[in-house]
Structures are given as structure tokens and as C-alpha cells.
Amino acid sequence: MKRVIGIGGVFLKAADPERLHHWYEAHLGMRREDWGGVIFHWKDAEQSQRQEGRTVFAFFPKDTTYFEPSKAPYMINFRVEDLAGTLAELAEEGVEIEEKRQEDENGKFAWIHDPEGNRIELWEPPQKG
């Protein structure tokens, strides 16, 4: 089983998220969605029959608690094909896994920590059709 199949998102803390979003829009052409982040759409060259993929880029307020317990000013979201299977294998390997899980219209989410305490978000996108 493949574990990580791509980057689902990159999230950065910012002192002034709105100002940074404006800068990225003006200078890099990165247009925000209504919910506040940028989505890059793409298709997997190896599996062109699969659903379109997306990678999110967004800023969070510098005082967000969403990245905790990590103290890093960023969090990376990795796409996985089988979240439950990946978590089971990581547990067997002794990886620190948070108990919290989330499932909504955007897919399934779980969080792990690397050896330096960085919080990593794992995301299984919803299956289409």
C-alpha cells in the first residue's frame, strides 16, 4: 500500500493573513476561494482515470491553536489513499498518532507527529462517483 501520495496542503501562520493573501494574489496570481485559501487543481499523470486532485495553500492567524502541540509556524497536509490502513501501519511502527479524527465532505483527517514534534495532517480525499 502506498502511504503518502501527494501534498494535500501547506498551511502557514501569519501575523496578518489578509495582507499576505493580498500580496500573493497581486504578485503571484494566487486567487483565493470564498473560504479563504488557494486551491491548485491537477490530475495524477499515473492514474489519469482517478478524480482530480487538489493542493491547498492557506494562511492561519499567528495565534492559531490548529497546529498544536507543534510550535512550528507551518503544517503540511499529506494525501493518503487509505487513512485507516496508513494509521494502522504507523501505529505498528511506533509513530505518535493523535486520537482525534475528523470526517466531513472534504474527506477523512488524522494527525501524527514527527520525531521533532511537528504536527502532520493526513488526509484521505472523499471518493467521487
Average pLDDT value over all residues in the chain:
90
27 located within any domain: yes
Domain ranges, residue 72 = 4-124
61 located within any domain: yes
For the domain that residue 57 is a member of, what is the CATH number? Answer: 3.10.180.10
Q: How confident is the model at residue 28 (pLDDT cuts 50, 70, 90)?
A: confident
48 located within any domain: yes
63 located within any domain: yes
For residue range 68-84, list pLDDT tens digits in order.
Answer: 999 999 999 999 999 99
Count of structural domains within the chain: 1
Q: What is the pLDDT, as a whole number, of residue 13?
A: 96
Return d(Cα 23, Cα 21) in angstroms, integer: 5
Q: Are 56 and 38 in contact (CB under 8 A)?
A: yes
Cell numbers 492514474 correspond to what residue? 47
User: DSSP secondary-structure letter at 84?
Assistant: H
User: Considering the entire predicted model, what is its pTM?
Assistant: 0.84
Q: What is the pLDDT, as a whole number, of residue 53?
A: 80
Q: How confident is the model at residue 114 (pLDDT cuts 50, 70, 90)?
A: very high
129 located within any domain: no
Q: What is the pLDDT, as a whole number, of residue 48?
A: 55
- pLDDT > 90? residue 100: yes
